[in-house]
């Protein structure tokens, strides 16, 4: 067993080594920013599905006839009225 003062010195030096060695908050943030600035190689499938769904909704909305026009175009004759004489 080593004398307590030797253990205390080791603990103190290890504490300083840790403080000097560990990644600082600024360094950690630099690494994070550098990583996020790199484009991901592939976008995930759900991103693509969502984009297609959004485009599809937009096309449907843009090309849908107004409600008034829809009802005007709907035949009002009773079924079977054509050809009845």
Partner 1 sequence: MSGGGQGSAERAFDRLYGEQHQAVFAFLLGRAGDRETARDLLQEVFLRAWRHVDDWCELPPERRRAWVYAVARNLVIDSHRGRGSDRAAMDALRRAAEAEGPAALAAPASEDPAARAEMGERMAVLERAIARLPERQRVVLSLHVVGGLNSSQVGELLDEPPGTVRYRLSEARRQLATALEADR
Binding residues (CB under 8 A) for partner 1: these are: 2, 6-7, 9-10, 13-23, 27-28, 31-32, 34-36, 38, 40-41, 43-44, 46-47, 49-50
> Considering beta carbons, is residue 26 or 81 the nearer one to partner 1?
26
Taking the complex as a whole, the smallest distance from the CB of residue 38 to partner 1 amounts, in Å, to: 6
> Considering beta carbons, is residue 2 or 61 the nearer one to partner 1?
2
State how far the Cα of 26 lies from the Cα of 34, in Å rounded to an integer. 12
Question: DSSP characters for 10-58?
Answer: HHHHHHHHHHHHSPPHHHHHHHHHHHHTSPPSS--HHHHHHHHHHHHHH
> Considering beta carbons, is residue 54 or 71 the nearer one to partner 1?
54
């Amino acid at each position: 067993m080593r004398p307590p003062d030797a253990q205390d010195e080791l603990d103190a030096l290890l504490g300083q080594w840790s403080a000097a060695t560990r990644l600082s908050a600024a360094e950690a943030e630099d690494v994070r920013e550098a990583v996020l600035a790199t484009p991901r190689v592939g976008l995930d499938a759900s991103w693509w599905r969502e984009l297609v769904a959004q485009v599809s909704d937009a096309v449907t909305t843009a090309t849908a006839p107004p409600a008034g026009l829809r009802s005007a175009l709907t035949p009002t004759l009773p079924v079977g009225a054509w050809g009845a004489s």
